[in-house]
Structure 1
Amino acid sequence: MATSINRRNFLFSTSMPAASVLVGGIHHGYGEPVDPIGTFEPFIQRDHLPDPVIIDSLDLHERDGNWFIRARSKDGAEGWSVGHPSKMELSQRTFTRVISPYMRGKDARDLDQLVDGVFVSGSNYKMQGQLFWVPLAAAEFAILDLLGKVAKCSAADLLGGQQRRQIDLYIANNHRSKDPRESLRRITKSVASIEAKALKIKIGGRMKVVDQVPGRTEKIIPMVAESLGERCTLYADANSSYLSVKKAIEVGRILEANKFAFYEEPVPFDYLDETKQVAEALEIPIAWGEQESSQWRFKWMVENSSVRIFQPDLFYYGGLIRSLRVARMAALRGLDCTPHISGGGLGFLYMGIYAACCPNPGPHQEYKGLSDNFPWESTGDKITVKAGTMTAPNGPGIGVNIDPGYIAKANQIK
């Protein structure tokens, strides 16, 4: 579709106070819930959806460890998505007993409101975290596919407009248990596999562990810079490795000296003040947000933390709409919102939709490979990866069809 949105429209007006730009106004009233963050302006574009699209069913199916979600309207239209493989297995009852019953009978065009409504319905807010937001994300993706197929437009167009046709990628690597030389060999191989122009390495030992291989971090950083720094943008992810702010800053100085472009999650992810201290001490941009599930904390971190790159996970944070809200918050400060991609499902596809419609996704998007665990095909331009870029999904809905014959043999989860 030709629908487009520019950065100015995305922000509404950069001269307005942050709260009023982010939201449609903070509503006060007796007997009604009042959220201090306000009510977000909707992303779903109704131009091609003049009539209600009532959700008749929202079903979960499983085959070979893959979790498929079908959204069906009362008129018989269908949308499909694929959930996070391991997290959907754990959260399947949340989907079937909480998410699906809430969505049935609702107008899918109200999806922006539905992702908030299901959270505050009953005591659902007490389930805040991945095992709530992952199944909601899967439901949202299927409903977006349904809406796009009804409207005959892409999910990116539904969410504001297709900004780009090609997505520049960084290839993610995870070789913490390997010595520096073997790590470099594997990183180099992964870069060559897609002719990547950007890459991300793992440093530290993950979650309060300084290093799995003693001294690896201090060695691998300059080795990667010397070998690949001339042809690739370099990023580094500590995954909450450093309990000490001092140590996190020391590693940050090494990254700066080797011209790395961001430093992800240097201290434990929920150490908000310590994250702020590290960000303020270093020149290298700090990236943060993979584990966050609260819109309020994202807003606080955007406004107060000195973090410069925000990273909601499209599964863990509850989908595209909530992640695009974080992008809108970040854009007000002139900052990027580059989502984290957890592996499996159709994560690459949801990343492509996000980057296609978001004005401030950052220069490169995380890439962990195309899904090959089940048969699928593009419904628009063929989705390929070459020369470090991926074709943006632009077919109706989420831009792919999953082989109906494969899904027909899946087990429905009741």
Structure 2
Amino acid sequence: MIKDIRTYKLCYEGINDERDALAIKGLAEHPMEIVVTEIETSDGYVGYGESLAYGCSDAVQVTIEKILKPLLLKEDEELIEYLWDKMYKATLRFGRRGIAIAGISGVDTGLWDIMGKKAKKPIYKLLGGSKRKVRAYITGGYYSEKKDLEKLRDEEAYYVKMGFKGIKVKIGAKSMEEDIERLKAIREVVGEDVKIAVDANNVYTFEEALEMGRRLEKLGIWFFEEPIQTDYLDLSARLAEELEVPIAGYETAYTRWEFYEIMRKRAVDIVQTDVMWTGGISEMMKIGNMAKVMGYPLIPHYSAGGISLIGNLHVAAALNSPWIEMHLRKNDLRDKIFKESIEIDNGHLVVPDRPGLGYTIRDGVFEEYKCKS
């Protein structure tokens, strides 16, 4: 029985000045901020989940505490599917996307953490998976006033030296000519055996994305992520049809219903989603299995804390995903939230074989990284 649900707003102030195109264009800032949900059962089990909180942590926390928590107290924590439906239907009038689904995401992941701990099995095994390692690509190449072309080359060379065979570079904030030069410089230093993807963070118009996509084709780019606004599915489908470079996305979509439309319209070639905002582990598994039925690869997105990274990793292992996204930017909410270190082996993330998520929250971390406002 669910005894209590507690939430924590965590912020990391030490993130550097690196930005993507959305931030540079003044359309969105991405503070390193998460909401952690802690679920306690009457028989002493505790599970943890993470919710999207890009500047909206107050709203996410209130949604969990005031709307979702009263629905869940005294319920059987093992009835995960039933509880997901209960939360979703209770928030239909104002949810279905955004903050409500972000709240559900954290709760759902926490419930799976508890289920694994009770069963004494890692989540990926409960989901039927067997894969112990998932190949990771590193997202870097952010824009920064302190990062000239030489430092960009050094950064990407470092990732390859660590054993990663895939990298992703931010584009869209500079002119197309400047971004192409950045990509050419990176190719020179990483060689032909490393896959290079790009991420425009939704900033291009259709015409701009089409032009940039044709330039990217000539460079042999691995995939072109979120070229345009997520809502323009028909235009994204036109891009996917007209361009040889694969279109990837859209992590900014929510739940199986939105992803069904993305896939039905053939708006992408590669499906990307994230447990912290698509509805948690339960919903990501549904999206992943639907992608299998419709013939799409699923590569999990990642951008925030350690809990969502590990949640994504369990789902990737269960779905046999070919890749998973990883960042190596300085981020204590990823690297210092657990007692254990996140294990990387020659460019792969190692799936923990310990019960639940497989990681232990470090003592005092909620107080240490508590948001100041």
Give the TM-score, by structure 2 length.
0.83
Taking the TM superposition and a 5 Å limit, the aligned residue runs for 1:86-165 are 86=54, 87-121=56-90, 123-158=91-126, 160-165=127-132
Segments of 5+ residues of structure 1 without an aligned counterpart are 1-53, 206-210
> Which one has the largest radius of gyration?
1
Gaps of 5+ in 2: 13-33
Are the counterparts in 1 of residues 9 and 57 from structure 2 also a CA contact under 8 Å? Answer: no
**What is the Cα deviation at residue 272 of structure 1?**
1.0
In structure 1, C-alpha distance between the alignment counterparts of 2:196 and 2:297, rounded to whole Å: 17
| Residues 186 and 134 (structure 1), Cα distance of their counterparts in 2 relative to 1, 3 Å cut | farther
Distance 2:43 2:114 in 1: 11
Other structure's SS at 2:241 match: helix
Q: Partner amino acid for 2:327?
A: K
Of 355, 362, 365 in structure 2, the residue corresponding to residue 403 of structure 1 is 362
Residues 313-355 of structure 1 show CA distances to partners (whole Å, capped at 9, x for unaligned) of 2212121211111111111122111121122342321221121
In structure 2, relative to structure 1, the CA distance for the partners of 1:394 and 1:286 (3 Å cut) is same
Q: In structure 2, what is the equivalent of residue 204 of structure 1?
A: 172
Residues 123-164 of structure 1 show CA distances to partners (whole Å, capped at 9, x for unaligned) of 544133332122221111211111111111111122x22321
User: Aligned partners of 2:367 and 2:215: how far apart in 1?
Assistant: 53
Could you tell me how far 1:269 is from its partner in structure 2?
Answer: 1.6
Aligned alpha-carbon RMSD (Å): 2.7
Give the equivalent residue in structure 1 for 2:25: none
Matched-pair identity in %: 25
The amino acid that maps onto 2:212 is V
Q: How far apart are 1:109 and its partner, in Å? A: 2.1
Number of equivalent positions:
345
Q: Look up the equivalent residue of 2:48 and give its one-letter code.
A: W
Q: Which runs of structure 2 are paired with 1:273-284 in the superposition (5 Å)? A: 273-284=234-245
> Which stretches of structure 1, 4 residues or longer, exceed 3 Å deviation after superposition?
61-68, 81-90, 176-180, 369-375, 404-411
Q: Partner of 2:239: helix, strand, or coil?
A: helix
Q: Deviations over 1:363-402 (max 9, x none)?
A: 3210014963445234xxx641142111112210110111
SS at 1:377 equivalent: coil
Paired with 2:123 and 2:36, the residues of 1 have a C-alpha distance of 18
Distance in 2 between residues matched to 1:406 and 1:234, nearest whole Å = 35
- Is the aligned partner of 1:347 residue 2:347? no
The letter of the residue matching 2:3 is D
The secondary structure found in structure 1 opposite 2:254 is: coil
1:38-84 deviation per Cα after TM superposition (whole angstroms, max 9, x unaligned): xxxxxxxxxxxxxxxx2222222356666442212222222234444
Q: Describe the shift of the 1:254–1:64 C-alpha distance in structure 2 as closer, same or farther (beyond 3 A).
A: closer
Preserved CA contact (<8 Å) 2:168 2:197: yes
- SS at structure 1 position matched to 2:169: strand
CA shift digits 1:265-323 (9 cap, x unpaired)? 11222111110111000122111111112432211221222521111222121212111
Bigger Cα displacement from structure 2, 224-233 vs 312-321: 224-233
CA contact (8 A) 2:153 2:189 kept: no
Residue 131 of structure 1 aligns to a residue whose secondary structure is: helix
User: Larger deviation: 275-284 or 87-96?
Assistant: 87-96
